[in-house]
Each structure stands twice: as structure tokens, then as C-alpha cells.
Structure 1
Amino acid sequence: MSDRHRTEAPDRATPPEDSPTRGRLVAIDAARGLALIGLTAIHFLPASDEETHEPTWSWILFAGDSAALFALLAGVGLAFGSGGRTRRQGQSMTAARVGVAVRALLIAAVGMSIGYLMPKDPPAVNILVYYGVFFLLTIPFLHLRPVTLVMCAMLFGVVAPVLMQILRGRLPEFTAYNPTFNDVVTVPGATAAQLLLTGTYPALPYMTYLLTGLALGRLNLRNVQVQTLLVVVGAGLAAFAYLSSYVLLYVAEGYHQLLPSVPEQSEEVVDEILVWGTDEGLPTSTGWWLAVTTPHANMPLAIAWSLGIGLAVLGTFLLLARTIGPWLLPLSAMGAMTLTLYSVQLVLLSFELHYDQPEIWFLAYLLLAALFAVGWQRAFGQGPLERLVSMAAKGAGRAVVGDGTRPALH
């Protein structure tokens, strides 16, 4: 399975400048910067070794988990932008909802515009259009308490994958890996199905990450016990998902139940799907596919694995930022403007120049991205696209509800 159709992508829901502490922002931005490195590796580096055909280190480390981490952190950012630990109320919350809606539409518009540059067989699947849907779906949940948000996240993590398997054969197939404005107008049903359930980053299962991040953003992330708990719970959740999948597939013999659902009942085909997944989605003839942890499978245990990794990464960076925050500057600067850097990366990938020398392109992009991010942040603050989106979102909120939109203090 080629890595040409594998991509994770960012967005940064910028919190109010006076809400979280600087150390907390550094940690979250640094975690997002690491995710950017991960998606860059998936974009530019080979997914498999040319001689052994085994997965490369970049695929093993980053496939699927980068997108989950970005979604988790986007949820944290949405929590900050809607009051943090003290949820906004009344008109202030209305302004926050309007701002999220405007942010979602602008991010989706950027993604659909870039879609016109991508060839039919693209080097990357653009997640920005999906992110717009993520944010729109999150709006009704902004007022909920952390416990309720976690319960909703668990519900999405179980029910959405089941719906994917039940409805996949009944929903229209998408017509383009990277939807554009034309697709929204000409094939709205297929585009909606793709963005919600059948695409590479379906919004309904991804709500697990968004809502979990939203719950985390309502907690005291400055507390070292909370930070440590994130690492412990995250590692435990990832281990539970992996071991559960192993037991179900290889001890309970679920693996053999997968064979009739693939061509020629081939173990080789099943093994390839378990490692690489498939662009067409998992087979739907047996429920045992719900037990896999394949990257981008979006099955319950796959979601639990990626969520666990994301929680552990976030907790680790929160702990690191307490002592070595300034040393995280290259990562945090890139993480502070992932919308800009990711959009530029997609435009660059659309020229398909990187295939002959992937390692050089990978290193060159990361070096230039880090230098640009640090320089721009010190000179101007927010990234170019981040500033435009933030200004539009805040302006829309003020226009709808007037002046009562000052963020709540943490």
C-alpha cells in the first residue's frame, strides 16, 4: 500500500492570549509541532522498504496517530477559545459558537481551494475540508462538562465505526480524494457521506478525539498530577487497545474470521490490510474487522490506540515544558502555525517533485518550516493564515452578539 494517500493534517484553534499560561501554550504547540513532523514524514518518506517491503520507521511511528493528535489538540484549543476551565455563558458562548463556525468554514474553504491543485491520484489527502466538518459538529458540545464530553467521546468511538461498517455499502462512493467546491455543488450527497463516514478522515469517528480534547481543555492542565495522569492513562489506553486487538484476532481466532471477507481468502491480503489499511475501506462482511488497530481504520480499538498515544504525547510535553520550555521553541513555533505550514506543504506536494529524493525534501521542508516559523513568530506573532482566520472568527462573534464577548479568565 503506497503512502501517497496517507496524510494527517493540522489546524490550530487559537486560544485567547490571556487564557492559558505561557508554559501550557508551549507544550500544546510543541505537541502539535511534533505531529507536523509526523505528517511531513508520512508525506515525503516511503511507507515501505524497497527491499524487504516492511513498513518504514516513519510509517510505524506516525501513520494515523498524527491526525488523531491534531484532532485532540484542536479540541483543547476549542476549549480554550470558549472559556477554558470557566465555560462561557449566554452571549459570550454564542459569540464563541459563531467564531467556531466561521473558523470551520474558512478552513474548509482553504482546503477545497487547494483541492483544485491536486492531481486525480494525489500525493496526499487533504484533511482541511474534514477539519471544517469536525469544528461544525463540535459546536453543540461546547457548553458541556468534562465528564459528559468524555462519555460522548466514548459513544462516538464505538457507534461511529459500527455505522461505518453497516452503511458503507449503502452510501455513495466519493468521487475525489480531495473535495472541491465543485464536488459540494454537483455531488453533495457523496461529498457529505465522504466527510462524515466513508473518507480517509471521517468526521463521526474523529469526534472522539475532538470531544476528548475539549474535555481536557476544561481541566487544570497546569497541574502536574493532571499532566502525569495524561501520560499514564494514555499509555494504558494504547496498551489496552493493542493487547485487546491481539487477543481478539490471534487468541480468539478472529483472524481466521477475516479470511472469507477478502479475495481468494488470502492470508497475505489480510496481513496487508492489517498493516496498511485500504483506500476503499475495510470489508464489511464480518464484524471482526472492528477489532483491528490498523492506521486510518477508524475502528474502536484503532481509535483507542491513537487516542492513547495522543494523550501520552500531550502529557509528556506538558511535563517537559515545566523545565525545558524554551528549548521547545522550534517545535512550538511550527505548532503555532500549522494551518499555514500545512497548506504550504500541500501546495508543494501538488507539484509531485519529491518522489526521487524523498529524504532531501523531508529534511529541507522541516528546516525551512522551522526557520520560517521561529522568525515569523518573533516578528509578527500569529502565522499568516492563523491571523486571518482568527480575525474573521472574532469579528463575526462581535458582529452577532455585540461587545459582550470578552473571554472568560482561567
Structure 2
Amino acid sequence: MLRPTRRLVGIDAARGLALIGLMAIHLLPAWNEESGEASWSWRLFSGDSAALFALLAGVGLALTSGGRHPHEGRTMTADRIGLVVRAVLIAIVGLWIGTLMSEDPPAYNILIYYGVFFLLAIPFLHAGPKFLFISAAIFGVVAPLLMQGLQDVLPEFVSYNPTFTDLLTQPGATASQLLLTGSYPALPYMTYLLVGLGLGRLDLRKTEVQARLVVVGVGLAIFARAASYVLLYAFGGYQQLLDASSMGEHELDDVLVWGPDALPTDTAWWLAIATPHTNTPLAIAASLGVGLAVLGVFLLIGPKIGKWLLPLSAMGVMTLTLYTAHLVALSFEIHYELPYLWFMVHLAVATLFAVAWHRGLGQGPLEKVVSTSVKGTRRLVLGGPRKNGHR
């Protein structure tokens, strides 16, 4: 039997869905070979799964540091130092995975970026919702400007999956990649994390709050994509991109679907696109809207059909373990010929393992290691046994 818990099942289920989305992006084709158009998995999950992960990471940080009533004094100090430990451990796992991946890897690893997200979150850990939402908006606008404006002066790209060697031999280039130029750059992604942190300071058990998440999320996603469309096709942005980039229409259309390798610096009109993973203000807003809506829906249905969500919620409580195992399996690169079969294999193994382990032992193995390390650090700071906050 499952242990009694105060966790919000909807949060765990949403995290489980985000994991499935990343698996789909890593394993399934990004385009239809016959039509050349984006596949259903790309349209459903590209960019949005990673954004949902970051959003939920922020929610989790809030709930473990006091929820609606942020910890104060030594307890908050303990939370902050514990977060440093969590960040370092997750980054170490990410750097180790980087050593397993080839130069042209089957997936881009988010874990080392996660470590940076958590380090950047430390100064915001005590803040209330209003300050956090305003800060998120600032990151969502300023970070893309920095990303584009500094691109030509920042060090060259290190590797798709940085390793310990990269960090030690090219610390500056690795840092710039983790903050601004990488696959999941921390400064733009702070928008998602800070919004999540702000949400965790609200009463997420209230139906009114849950319904508002859905409404605001859907509205924000529609607004962002509509604004991008109007800017590009009603206000001349598309032509400006053609003129500045010297691309043909077919090439530009492809870039607007798949995104450029790096955000071009030839015109500020590139900031008007909402293509996944481009981390422009409108792309961030669109993915944030999807994440808010997904979280709101799961929070609404969680109390009513929580038992039916067990496969998702069980995966959601051990995403570090499952994501790490997924990337290790991908590093063998045996999945390319039969992507749909291997997706089903990864999904089935993850689901069965998660349900069995969660029913029998609770936390996932890597989650247990991180949690035990963080709790031990907090006890040292507090000077005695202390219980962490729980959902």
C-alpha cells in the first residue's frame, strides 16, 4: 500500500508527463519523412516539456521552503545551503552523463543546467509571489536581449553536453553556455523557475487558483503565438527576416518551425518569433502558458482521479532517476532504426519501475541520495533534527 502523503498528486503527474515529453522528443522522429512536416511529437512536446520541468522545479522549491509561508532565519539559511548541495549533486550527475554521450549526441542533457537554475534561485528563495512574478517577467524580456546582444562576443560553444573536462579546461565558455547560449540556457529559463516558485507560494489546493492557472495559461499561450504571427505577417517582420538573413522563403519557413542553431544577430526581428527552444520573449511566454495550463488541469483532476494518475505521478516523484537512466540508455545509440519501439520500451520500463519502486520504497534511488544529503546538510546548519516541509 502507498504511504499516506500530503503531496499534491497533480504536481507529480504533471512532472511525469513532462518526462514522457522529453522521452518523445529524444526518441521519436521530429518530422514526417513523407511530407517533411513536423511530427506530432515535435508539435506537442518540443520546448514545452523542458519548460514544464523548470516550472515544476520552481513549485517544488517553494513547497520545500515553507510554501505559502516562506521559512525565515536559520531555517531559510538551511534551505539555501541545502539547495546548493542539491544543485551540485544534480550538476555532477549531468556532467557524468556528458562523458557518456558522443560528440553528436542523441539527446541534450538538462541536468547540468538544472544545477545552475537552482544556484540562481537561491537569492529568490525567501520572496513572495508578486516579487517573483515581476522578476520572472524581467528575466523573460532581458535574458533574450542579452542572449542575442552578447552572442557575437561570448566564447564559442563548448559541447552539446558539457563534461567535467569542459568545466575545468574551459570554465568561461562553459559558464556562458550554461547561462545564455546552451540548449537550456539558465537566464531565460529562470522565467519558468521563478513563476513556479511564485505559484508554490500560493494555495495550490484551492480550486479557484487551479482554474485560474488553466485560464491564464491558455490565454498566455494563445496571446504569445498570435502576437508572433501578427508581428511577422501583419507588421512586416517576415520580410525583415528575409532581407536581413539572406534566406529564401523555404529556408526561413523551416527555421520558423525548427528554430535556428543560435538566435541570429542580424536583426532584432528574430525576437518576434515563438519557435520552441529559441528562448525569445514570445517563445518563453508560449511555453510558460502551456506549462501553466497543464499544471492547472492536473491540479484540478488530481483529487478526483488521483488513483488513475498513479503511472504518471509515480514517474513524477522520481524523474531524476528515470531521466538519468533514460539518457544512459540513449548513450548506447541503438534506438535510431526503431524509434517507436524504443520509445515504448523506455516508457514501459519507466512506468513499471516507477510504480513498483514507489509502492514499495517511496522515493527513487537518486532522489533518496539527494534528499538524504540535503537533510543532513540542513541538520548541520540547524544544529539538530529538523523536518523539511512536505507537500
Same fold by TM-score greater than 0.5:
yes
Contact 2:375 2:388 in 1 (8 A): no
Contact 1:103 1:393 in 2 (8 A): yes
Instruction: Write out per-residue CA displacement over residues 113-156 of structure 1, whole angstroms, 9 at most, x where no aligned residue.
Output: 01111000101011100000000000000011100000000000
Moved over 3 A (4+): 404-410
| TM-score (norm: length of structure 2) | 0.97
**Structural mapping, 1:22-41, within 5 Å:** 22=7, 24=8, 26-41=9-24
C-alpha RMSD of the superposition: 1.4
State the 1:79 CA deviation.
0.3
Q: What one-letter code is carried by the residue in structure 2 that aligns with 1:296?
A: H
Corresponding residue number in structure 1 for 2:252: 270
- Secondary structure in 1 matching 2:270: helix
Q: Tell me whether 269-278 or 344-353 shows the greater mean CA deviation.
A: 269-278
Contact 1:234 1:309 in 2 (8 A): yes
Corresponding residue number in structure 2 for 1:330: 311
Instruction: Write out per-residue CA displacement over residues 184-231 of structure 1, whole angstroms, 9 at most, x where no aligned residue.
Output: 110001000000000010000000000000000010000000000000
The answer to whether 1:227 aligns with 2:186 is no
**Structural mapping, 1:255-294, within 5 Å:** 255-262=238-245, 264-279=246-261, 281-294=262-275
**Structural mapping, 1:245-394, within 5 Å:** 245-262=228-245, 264-279=246-261, 281-394=262-375
Q: What one-letter code is carried by the residue in structure 1 that aligns with 2:363?
A: Q
Q: Kindly tell me: are residues 356 and 409 of structure 1, through their superposed partners in 2, closer, same or farther at Cα, counting changes over 3 Å?
A: closer
Corresponding residue number in structure 2 for 1:4: none
Contact 1:86 1:409 in 2 (8 A): no
Contact 1:39 1:66 in 2 (8 A): yes
The answer to whether 1:158 aligns with 2:141 is yes
Q: What one-letter code is carried by the residue in structure 1 that aligns with 2:181?
A: T
Gaps of 5+ in 2: none
Corresponding residue number in structure 2 for 1:6: none
State the 1:268 CA deviation.
1.6
Gaps of 5+ in 1: 1-16
Cα distance in 1 for partners of 2:13, 2:304 equals: 14
Contact 1:249 1:255 in 2 (8 A): yes
- Secondary structure in 2 matching 1:85: coil
State the 1:402 CA deviation.
1.4
Contact 1:76 1:217 in 2 (8 A): yes
Cα distance in 1 for partners of 2:389, 2:218 equals: 33
Q: Kindly tell me: are residues 184 and 326 of structure 1, through their superposed partners in 2, closer, same or farther at Cα, counting changes over 3 Å?
A: same
Corresponding residue number in structure 2 for 1:81: 64
State the 1:261 CA deviation.
3.3
Percent identity over paired residues: 64
Contact 2:232 2:238 in 1 (8 A): yes
Corresponding residue number in structure 2 for 1:396: 377
Contact 2:222 2:286 in 1 (8 A): yes
| TM-score (norm: length of structure 1) | 0.93
Which of 101, 121, 126 matches 1:143? 126
State the 1:308 CA deviation.
0.3
- Secondary structure in 2 matching 1:296: coil
State the 1:63 CA deviation.
0.2
Corresponding residue number in structure 2 for 1:21: 6
State the 1:408 CA deviation.
5.6
Cα distance in 1 for partners of 2:247, 2:215 equals: 40
Cα distance in 1 for partners of 2:192, 2:374 equals: 23
Q: What one-letter code is carried by the residue in structure 2 that aligns with 1:21?
A: R
Q: Kindly tell me: are residues 44 and 408 of structure 1, through their superposed partners in 2, closer, same or farther at Cα, counting changes over 3 Å?
A: closer
Q: What one-letter code is carried by the residue in structure 2 that aligns with 1:146?
A: P
- Secondary structure in 2 matching 1:37: helix
